[in-house]
C-alpha cells in the first residue's frame, strides 16, 4: 500500500528489516512491537517528496545514479527505507520553471463548462518515482501499479505564492470535504483513499483549524501539518493520526554532516526533530520536504552534483525512524521513544 496526497502520499507495507548492516549506525529510537495500548502513538511511516519537477531532475540522471538515488530513498537494507511518497497534483498549464502541469491544463472558460483532461502518463515524472518505489522495492501491484491511500486537497492554505497556491479557511475546508467525501464514495474510491487535511504551514496553525473540522470528523482520515511556522511540540487534539508532512532547512548551504555545530541542516538536528515530533507531539508520520534534487541548499536530503547523487545524514535521521518501523512498516505499531544504542538501523 502506498500513501499519496495532494499533496499526495504513498505508504506501503514491507518486510521486516533485520539486516540493516549497510546503514551508518547512530543512536536511534526503539520500537516496541507489542500490541498498541489505546491512546498511544502509532507509526504510519517516514517519507519525502519529488514534487515540483524534482522527479524530472532525478529521471535525467544516468541509470546508475537513478538506481543509487532510488536505493538511498527506499531500500530497506542499503537506504533510508522510506515508505511514504508525497506527490503533488499539478494545477499549472505547463512545466515551465518548476511548475507541475495539471491533468486539465486548459481553462474550460467558465465554472459550468466541462474540463478537458489530458493524462500524459508521466505526471511530472512522479508516476515513474512512485512505480519504481512501489514495484521494485515493495512488489505490490494494482491496475496502474500504484495505490493512492491518502488524498489532500490543500497545501499551506494560509500562504499566497508566486506559483500555484490556494488559500482556505477551516470552514472552506469543511465545505469542500462535504463534497469530496461523497464524490470519492461514488467513485468507489473511499477505500483505500482517506481524506487528509489541511497541510497548514505550521503545527499550531493546523491545530487552530481542528475545532471547525470537528463537524466533518467522520469524513476525515488523517490530519496533516507542516513544521515551518511552528514545529510539532505537543499532540493535537484529534482522534486521527497526525502526520508531519513537510519540514526542511530551506536556507542553509548544503551539508551532509551528522554533527558539526548543531546547525539547522545537520543530521543530529533532524534526528531530534523527528524524535520530538513522534514522541512528544504524537506524530504518526514524518516527511522531509524533498528527497533528491540539485541546488546548494538543505531543502533536500540527497544532493545531485554534476550528475552524481550524494546522501546527507538527514536521510539517515529519517531512516532510523523508518528502520525501526521496518518492524512496523505502516503496520500501526506504537513507538515508546526509548533510545536504543544497539538498534543499528
Ligand X SMILES: *[C@@H]1O[C@H](CO)[C@@H](O)[C@H](O)[C@H]1NC(C)=O
Q: Which residues bind ligand X (CB under 6 A)?
A: 22, 39, 41-42, 71, 75, 77-78, 136-137, 141, 144-145, 187-188, 235, 239, 241, 282, 284
Are the C-beta atoms of residues 286 and 315 closer than 8 Å to each other?
no
CB of residue 186 to ligand X, shortest distance in Å: 6
Nearest residue to ligand X by CB is 235
CB of residue 78 to ligand X, shortest distance in Å: 4
Nearer CB in complex with ligand X: 149/255: 149
CB of residue 310 to ligand X, shortest distance in Å: 17
Nearer CB in complex with ligand X: 66/282: 282
Per-residue buried b or exposed e for 205-225, using 16+ beta carbons within 10 Å of the residue's own CB:
bbbebbeebeebeebbbbbbb
CB of residue 142 to ligand X, shortest distance in Å: 8
Distances (CA, A) of 231 to 68, 114, 208, 253: 31, 41, 14, 21
CA-closest candidate to residue 321, choices 16, 10, 28, 71: 28
Distances (CA, A) of 46 to 69, 265, 274: 17, 18, 9
CB of residue 133 to ligand X, shortest distance in Å: 10
CB of residue 214 to ligand X, shortest distance in Å: 15
User: CA-CA distance, 89 to 92, in Å (whole number)?
Assistant: 10
Nearer CB in complex with ligand X: 75/87: 75
Nearer CB in complex with ligand X: 252/332: 332
Nearer CB in complex with ligand X: 213/248: 213
Cis-peptide into 198, omega within 30 deg: yes
Nearer CB in complex with ligand X: 168/222: 222
CB of residue 332 to ligand X, shortest distance in Å: 8
Nearer CB in complex with ligand X: 78/256: 78
User: CA-CA distance, 46 to 44, in Å (whole number)?
Assistant: 7
CA-closest candidate to residue 268, choices 26, 45, 20: 26
For residue 122, report the phi and psi dihedrals to the nearest 5 degrees: -130, -40
Amino acid at each position: 500500500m502506498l500513501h499519496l496526497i495532494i499533496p499526495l502520499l504513498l505508504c506501503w507495507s514491507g518486510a521486516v528489516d533485520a539486516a540493516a548492516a549497510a546503514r551508518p549506525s547512530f543512536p536511534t529510537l526503539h520500537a516496541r512491537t507489542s500490541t498498541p495500548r489505546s491512546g498511544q502513538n502509532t507509526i504510519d511511516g517516514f517519507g519525502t517528496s519529488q514534487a515540483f519537477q524534482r522527479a524530472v531532475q532525478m529521471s535525467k540522471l544516468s541509470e546508475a545514479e537513478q538506481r543509487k538515488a532510488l536505493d538511498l530513498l527506499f531500500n530497506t537494507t542499503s537506504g533510508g527505507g522510506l515508505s511514504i511518497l508525497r506527490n503533488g497534483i499539478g494545477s499549472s498549464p505547463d512545466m515551465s520553471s518548476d511548475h507541475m502541469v495539471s491533468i486539465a491544463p486548459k481553462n474550460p472558460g467558465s465554472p459550468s463548462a466541462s474540463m478537458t483532461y489530458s493524462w500524459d502518463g508521466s505526471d511530472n515524472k512522479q508516476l515513474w518515482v512512485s512505480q519504481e518505489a512501489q514495484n521494485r522495492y515493495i512488489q505490490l501491484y494494482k491496475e496502474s501499479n500504484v495505490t493512492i491511500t491518502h488524498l489532500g486537497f490543500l497545501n499551506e492554505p494560509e500562504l499566497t505564492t508566486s506559483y500555484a497556491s490556494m488559500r482556505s479557511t477551516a470552514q472552506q475546508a469543511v465545505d469542500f470535504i462535504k463534497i469530496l467525501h461523497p464524490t470519492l464514495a461514488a467513485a468507489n474510491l473511499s477505500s483505500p483513499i482517506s481524506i487528509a487535511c489541511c497541510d497548514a504551514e505550521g503545527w499550531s496553525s493546523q491545530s487552530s483549524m481542528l475545532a471547525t473540522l470537528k463537524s466533518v470528523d467522520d469524513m476525515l482520515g488523517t490530519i496533516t501539518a507542516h513544521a515551518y511556522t511552528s514545529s510539532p511540540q505537543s499532540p493535537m487534539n484529534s482522534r486521527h493520526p497526525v502526520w508531519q508532512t513537510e519540514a526542511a532547512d530551506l536556507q542553509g548551504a548544503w551539508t551532509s554532516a551528522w554533527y558539526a555545530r548543531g546547525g539547522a541542516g545537520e543530521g543530529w538536528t533532524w534526528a531530534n526533530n523527528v524524535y520530538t515530533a513522534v514522541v512528544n507531539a504524537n506524530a504518526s508520520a514524518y516527511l522531509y520536504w524533498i528527497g533528491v534534487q540539485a541546488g546548494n541548499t538543505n531543502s533536500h536530503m540527497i544532493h545531485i552534483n554534476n550528475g552524481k547523487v550524494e546522501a546527507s545524514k538527514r536521510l539517515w535521521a529519517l531512516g532510523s525512524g523508518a528502520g525501526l518501523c521496518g518492524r512496523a512498516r505502516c503496520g500501526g505499531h506504537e513507538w515508546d521513544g526509548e533510545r536504543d544504542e544497539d538498534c543499528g538501523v
